[in-house]
Amino acid sequence: MSLHRLLPRLVTQSADRHATAPAVVMDGVTLDYATLEQRSNRFARSLVAHGVRRGDRVALWLPKSPDAIVALYGIMKAGAAYVPGDPASPASRLAYIARDCAVAGLVTTRDRAQALDEAFAGRAPMRALWFADADDARAELPHVAGLPGVHWAALASEEPRAFDSPALEDDLAYILYTSGSTGDPKGVMLSHRNCRVFTDWAAETFALTSQDRVANQAPFHFDLSTFDLFSAAAAGASVHPVSPRIAAFPAAVAMRWTQDRLSVWYCTPSSLVLMLTRGGLEKQDLSALRVLLFAGEVFPTKYLRQLVALAPHARYANLFGPTETNVCTWLEVKQAPEGDAPLSIGRACPYDEALVLDDALRPVPAGGVGELWIRGASVMHGYWGSPERTALALQTIDIAPGIRDRAYRTGDLVRVLSDGNLEFLGRRDHQVKTRGYRVELGEIETRLAAHPAVGEAVVVAVPDDEVTNRLKAVVVSKADVEVSADELREHCARTLPRYMVPETVEFRKDLPRTSSGKVDRRALLDAPKGAR
Amino acid sequence: MNPTETAIRQFLVEDVFYDRDLGSLGPDDSLLAKGLLDSMAILKTVTFCEEQFGITIPDQEVLPDHFESVRAIAKLVERVRGK
């Protein structure tokens, strides 16, 4: 067996130590570690039999399920990187991603075949296709772009014994596509090593054991899920993916997690706030909650105080980092914060170094404001197929006098506090968060501008207590072309994920400008005249 | 479809799914099986029903079973309105 420190090795090790311990628990189905190990070995062999090789990419486009987890481990064992698509996004976006990184395979479900077939329009990059819901080997399967598809049931004929992975630590483990400011999503390339420095550290720091039950709310295309999956696997704990049926209902999630006595929760502040404000969390028994981690957005302190009051026995930590570095700084919250001052993002995790630099790339002294740069083991390999974007984001700079290294430029403005912690102040660009999702306003603007009736379009983020931001489009339509807000939203929804579709569309005759002639985005936040 | 169902269906198609191709959406078609509703969609739908029908939907009623289909949401509205 390979001794390399790959992500799937965590499952192999836990299967050796805790074969019958639950690995995945979801909707009444439990996979123990031995079963997860064997099924992912079988799938790795099926991938290899269909031509998937070390260094390839394999897309996942299916709802959360235990089989989706089998699939992502199988893909990594085969030496390929998994590329998780947002199951709620249109097929056209998945087709873009699949072509962009030229996937060798695709795992999906039968009900998505027709939409995929249309989106690929006869030209698909993959050589093979698996239907994870095809449990009956005799059932007839739909074709996608001429490919026949493989039954999940066919995995039973593959060998379950240990699979010797050809991958090494610096091979890509997964590619996460994130919103791109120029109009197309970009693929963030992360290796086994990039991920494991975080997930191993987190499993140790938060003292996860095989007794822990770890919640999984984040979708697999969202990097919070790497903690849920891989820190749990490192400890031999069970991961409990939230059922797609209840995921959008805060009251149902709060009830399920407390009834299932989940001990470790890692969520976005938005989802925790909704559980507090709309989910009746205060009526639930939180005695099993041991560790509560949050990331992805600023947590409004008044809600964090409420949460700490409900479960004062739990450990709390604010984890921080863009997809490009996963978690790079963290703050343990030892007591409920007082007042409205935002929580700091703490300091660098031990595998990374946080540099706060001015525009001349000189370190900023305590009290000063600068841009956050991150160097270290969790920093991504780059953006797939985009050396230009990679060169802008990853630069070799002086990290100390006479010492140079490659560092990731986050675009985040931070202040260095007197105690050495960092305070997040905002973005240098037009990237925003909504419900924990990272959105480039430029990507939505590009899509709007592609509509024949649109002259100019600007999208702004309107701050919101519960969901961080709501998106509003301000549109100047072309003279004598009629277009409705509904039509523009539909136009966006055909290629963008739903969370990127502006909730309101406001029409104006012209856009307010600053004295330098730029669009005055601040002025657009107010006065929604004639919006709907 | 009764008027409550019609109003909810129209709202979902035009203001939540942004997809008039869903014109064929039937009152009993599952909204959840297809993953059509995310958390923002639920919030918007609750707000719409409260404003449209002059009711307050208690948080503990906002559960998957009550949002399974257009008909299920209409039943919830009628039940809350009848209280």
Q: What does the pLDDT look like over A499-508, one tens digit per residue?
A: 899 989 999 9
Write down the pLDDT at residue A387. Answer: 96
Beta carbons within 8 Å of A196's beta carbon, 6+ residues apart: A5, A7, A169, A230
Q: Which of A247, A262, A287 is the last residue of a domain?
A: A247
Write down the pLDDT at residue A521. Answer: 86
Q: Which of A427, A389, A436, A432 is nearest to A408 (CA)?
A: A389
Nearest-Å Rg of the Cα atoms of chain A is 23
Arithmetic mean of pLDDT over chain A: 93
Here the CATH number for the domain that contains residue A442 is: 3.30.300.30
Taking residues B56-70, report their average pLDDT.
94
Determine contact: B64 vs chain A, CB below 8 A. yes
Distance (Å) from the C-alpha of residue A171 to the closest C-alpha of chain B?
Answer: 33
> Same domain, yes or no, for A462 and A381?
no
Please report, rounded to a whole number, the percentage of residues in chain B having pLDDT higher than 90.
Answer: 59
Q: Which of A371, A394, A427 is the last residue of a domain?
A: A427
Determine contact: B1 vs chain A, CB below 8 A. no
Residue A532 has pLDDT above 50, yes or no: no
Which two three-digit tokens encode residue A386? 């985009």
CA-nearest residue to B18 within chain A is A490
Q: Are A413 and A371 in contact (CB under 8 A)?
A: yes
Here the CATH number for the domain that contains residue A417 is: 2.30.38.10
Q: Which of A231, A247, A263 is the last residue of a domain?
A: A247
Q: Are A382 and A416 in contact (CB under 8 A)?
A: no
CA distance A192 to A170: 6
Which two three-digit tokens encode residue B47? 């707000």
pLDDT digits (tens, 9 = 90+) for A192-242: 999 999 999 999 999 999 999 999 999 999 999 999 999 999 999 999 999
| Residues from chain B contacting residue A492 (CB–CB below 8 Å) | 18
CA distance A353 to A330: 12
In this structure, chain A runs to a length of 532
Determine contact: B42 vs chain A, CB below 8 A. yes
Residue A369 has pLDDT above 50, yes or no: yes
Which H/E stretch holds residue A150?
strand A150-151
Arithmetic mean of pLDDT over chain B: 89
> Same domain, yes or no, for A497 and A405?
no
Q: Which of B51, B53, B25, B50 is nearest to B37 (CA)?
A: B25
Write down the pLDDT at residue A161. Answer: 97
Helices (DSSP H) in A156-249: which residue ranges? 192-205, 224-226, 232-235
Taking residues B25-34, report their average pLDDT.
85
Q: Where are the beta strands (DSSP E) in A401-446?
A: 403-416, 422-427, 431-434, 437-440
CA geometry: angle at A101 spanning A195 and A126, to 5°?
A: 115
Here the CATH number for the domain that contains residue A174 is: 3.40.50.12780
Taking residues A362-389, report their average pLDDT.
96
A336-372: b or e for each residue (b if 16 or more CB lie within 10 Å)? ebeeeeebbbbbbbebbbbbbbeeebeebeeeeebbb
CA distance B16 to A503: 9
> Same domain, yes or no, for A149 and A24?
yes
| Residues from chain A contacting residue B33 (CB–CB below 8 Å) | 245
How many beta carbons lie within 10 A of that of residue A165, not counting itself? 22
Which residue's entry shows tokens 């706030």? A273
> Same domain, yes or no, for A415 and A479?
no
Write down the pLDDT at residue A436. Answer: 82
Determine contact: B28 vs chain A, CB below 8 A. no
CATH of domain B3-62: 1.10.1200.10
Residue A498: phi, psi to the nearest 5?
-60, -35
CA distance A43 to A150: 11
* ipTM of this predicted structure: 0.92
Split at pLDDT 50, 70, 90, the class of B21 is low
Q: In chain A, positions 98-127, which contact chain B (CB-CB < 8 Å)?
A: 111
Residue A69 has pLDDT above 60, yes or no: yes
Taking residues A435-442, report their average pLDDT.
88
| Residues from chain B contacting residue A250 (CB–CB below 8 Å) | 39, 59, 62
> Same domain, yes or no, for A438 and A383?
no
How many beta carbons lie within 10 A of that of residue A63, not counting itself? 23
CA-nearest residue to B64 within chain A is A246
Could you tell me how far CA A205 lies from the centroid of its own chain? 22
Beta carbons within 8 Å of A317's beta carbon, 6+ residues apart: A206, A291, A292, A293, A294, A330, A331, A332, A333
> Same domain, yes or no, for A423 and A435?
no
Taking residues A68-75, report their average pLDDT.
98
CA-nearest residue to A489 within chain B is B18
Determine contact: A244 vs chain B, CB below 8 A. yes
CA-nearest residue to B32 within chain A is A245
3 state DSSP class of A177: strand
Split at pLDDT 50, 70, 90, the class of A525 is confident
CA distance A196 to A404: 24
> Same domain, yes or no, for A418 and A399?
yes
Residue A388 has pLDDT above 90, yes or no: yes
Distance (Å) from the C-alpha of residue A63 to the closest C-alpha of chain B?
Answer: 8
> Same domain, yes or no, for A365 and A222?
no
Calculate the dihedral angle through the C-alpha atoms of A134, A135, A136, A137, rounding to the nearest 10 degrees.
Answer: 70
> Same domain, yes or no, for A412 and A441?
no
Question: Does residue A383 belong to any structural domain of this protein?
Answer: yes
3 state DSSP class of A462: strand
> Same domain, yes or no, for A420 and A460?
no
Which residue's entry shows tokens 């819901």? A133
Please report, rounded to a whole number, the percentage of residues in chain A having pLDDT higher than 90.
Answer: 81
Calculate the dihedral angle through the C-alpha atoms of A368, A370, A375, A380, rounding to the nearest 10 degrees.
Answer: 150
> What number of helices (H) and strands (E) belong to chain B?
3, 0
CA-nearest residue to A494 within chain B is B19
Question: Does residue A329 belong to any structural domain of this protein?
Answer: no
Q: Residue A493 is nearest to which of B18, B37, B60, comparing CB atoms?
A: B18
Question: Does residue A319 belong to any structural domain of this protein?
Answer: no
Query: Which residues are A58's β-sheet partners?
Result: A82, A105
| Residues from chain B contacting residue A467 (CB–CB below 8 Å) | 40, 43
Contact B60 A249 (CB under 8 A): no
Write down the domain spans for chain B. Answer: 3-62
Taking residues A297-321, report their average pLDDT.
94
- Residue A413 is part of which domain span? 344-427
Residue A44 has pLDDT above 50, yes or no: yes
> Same domain, yes or no, for A136 and A111?
yes
Query: Which residues are A59's β-sheet partners?
Result: A83, A106
Write down the pLDDT at residue B14. Answer: 84
Determine contact: A250 vs chain B, CB below 8 A. yes
Write down the pLDDT at residue A531. Answer: 45
Distance (Å) from the C-alpha of residue A69 to the closest C-alpha of chain B?
Answer: 19
Distance (Å) from the C-alpha of residue B21 to the closest C-alpha of chain A?
Answer: 10
| Residues from chain A contacting residue B11 (CB–CB below 8 Å) | none
Question: Does residue A305 belong to any structural domain of this protein?
Answer: no
Write down the pLDDT at residue A2. Answer: 58
Q: Give me the long-range contacts of A390-398 (CB less than 8 A, separation at least 24).
A: A393/A324, A397/A357, A397/A361, A397/A373, A398/A361
Query: Which residues are A397's β-sheet partners?
Result: A405
Q: In chain A, positions 480-499, which contact chain B (CB-CB < 8 Å)?
A: 486, 489-490, 492-493, 498-499
Q: Residue B35 is nearest to which of A87, A280, A499, comparing CB atoms?
A: A87
Q: How far is CA A486 from CA A23, A106, A510, in A?
A: 45, 33, 20
Please report, rounded to a whole number, the percentage of residues in chain A having pLDDT higher than 70.
Answer: 98
pLDDT digits (tens, 9 = 90+) for A260-302: 999 999 999 999 999 999 999 999 999 999 999 999 988 989 9
pLDDT digits (tens, 9 = 90+) for A444-492: 999 999 999 999 899 999 988 888 889 999 999 988 788 999 899 999 9
Taking residues A329-345, report their average pLDDT.
89
Write down the pLDDT at residue A307. Answer: 95
pTM comes to 0.92
Which H/E stretch holds residue A11?
helix A9-17
Quote the DSSP letter at residue B78: H
Residue A175 has pLDDT above 50, yes or no: yes
Determine contact: B20 vs chain A, CB below 8 A. yes
pLDDT digits (tens, 9 = 90+) for A24-42: 999 999 999 999 999 999 9
- Domains identified in chain A, total number: 3
3 state DSSP class of A292: strand
3 state DSSP class of A467: coil
Which H/E stretch holds residue A492?
helix A485-493
Among B39, B50, B56, the strongest candidate for a mutation testing the A interface, having the largest count of A CBs within 10 A, is: B39
How many beta carbons lie within 10 A of that of residue A527, not counting itself? 11
